[in-house]
Amino acid sequence: MKARSVPAERNSVVPILELVLASAIWGFAFVAQRKGNESLHPLFFNALRFGIGSLFLLILIIIKTPRSKPKLKADLLLLGFILFIASALQQVGLLWTSAGSGGFITGLYVVFIPLIGIFKKQKQSKLIIASILLAVPGLWLINSGASVDATLGNFLVLISAIFWAMHVQYIDTVVQRYPSFWVAFCQYSICAVISFVVWLIGTALKVINPITITVLSANISKAIIPILYSGIGSVGIAYTLQLHAQKKVAPAPAGIILCMEAVFALLGGWLLLNEPITWYSIGGAALLFTAMLISTIPSEKLDPIPDRKKCTKTTG
């Protein structure tokens, strides 16, 4: 595969707006996820929301390409497994850390993305580096000076941030090989199945507190709105927008734009949970917004990407 530089194509307006919309949906979904975790174990909650997201995508696939029969390949299995590890570690880690600490540490994937990119021989422009240097303190401020003490919860969320970075980087490769809807469906369904199986095994071994069908049904009813919003909105729509956008936007700037999730989470907490907005968080939001704008400025030094025509495979 030949490498080529695509300065402006990579950061065209539509995919950037898709990433911003995805981060907005995820930001407001943070409120839904917190509510869902109050009634359901994180793994079971993930199984439900990713299961609903995969069914949502399956319906779209049937409507859009009724005769297509794409195959499940090893790289799609790996993508779904990475998504499972990232989401599971994050959700479980949040049980033992504050929302602010979890939000800040998760956002550190913006640093890990270019670090992983080194192994893929991606070169980052000075604008991207400047954006990262603005995004990290912005994340810290927007989470009200979050604690990064050495706790089990913070450690799990930190590992999840590495896997989120791997997820963004691997998406950049996989979306060039398959249709976006098929990639989305595969990773959601794989993540849902693994989450459910691990939850089931944990319950059987009593690592996770056993629960009766009656109580489980009642808890699902309590969390039905967070489950539906997270499943259809956060998973079915937002992750698919990310997949489609990353056909045009490189991993590093994509990660910086997706950090706007923290800004929308702040707005969601204020609008829906009456959480206060401090001057710290306003300053953090301003830094993140500036980092996003800088990351979208076209540069001749953006990381080289493979020739799309030579890499793309056509599947059903």
Residue 174 falls inside a structural domain: yes
Residue 146 has a pLDDT of: 60
For residue 312, tell me if it sits in a domain.
no
Rounded to an integer, the average pLDDT of 62-87 is 84
pLDDT of 127 > 50? The answer is: yes
What was the pLDDT predicted at 303?
A: 43
In a domain? residue 57: yes
43 found inside a domain: yes
pLDDT, tens only, 239-279 = 889 988 998 899 999 999 998 888 887 787 788 767 777 88
Whether residue 154 lies inside any domain: the answer is yes
Annotate 22-64 with three-state secondary structure: HHHHHHHHHHHHHHHHHHCCHHHHHHHHHHHHHHHHHHHHHHH
In-domain check, residue 245? yes
* Residue 301 pLDDT > 60: no
Instruction: Work out the pLDDT band at 85, boundaries 50, 70, 90.
Output: very high
pLDDT (0 to 100) of residue 312: 39
pLDDT digit string (tens) for 193-230? 999 999 999 999 988 888 889 999 999 998 898 899 88
- Range of the structural domain that residue 135 is part of: 3-63+70-303
- Predicted confidence (pLDDT) per residue in 132-144, tens digit: 999 888 888 877 6
Residue 309: inside a domain? no
Q: What integer is the mean pLDDT of 304-316?
A: 41
What per-residue confidence (pLDDT) applies to 89?
A: 92
- State how far the alpha carbon of 156 is from the alpha carbons of 83, 85, 96, 211, in Å: 15, 10, 9, 25
**CB hemisphere CA count around 145 (13 angstroms):** 3
Asked whether 268 and 233 are in contact (CB, 8 A), the reply is no
Give residue 19's pLDDT: 94
What is the C-alpha separation between 44 and 209, in angstroms, rounded?
12
Give 276-298 pLDDT, tens digit per residue.
778 888 888 899 889 988 988 87
Q: How far is CA 145 from the centre of its chain?
A: 23
Q: Kindly state whether residue 52 falls inside one of the protein's structural domains.
A: yes
Instruction: Please check the confidence at residue 300 and state whether its pLDDT lies above 60.
Output: no
How many percent of the chain have pLDDT more than 70? 86
> E strands along the chain, which residues?
3-4, 305-306
Q: What is the number of structural domains in the chain?
A: 1
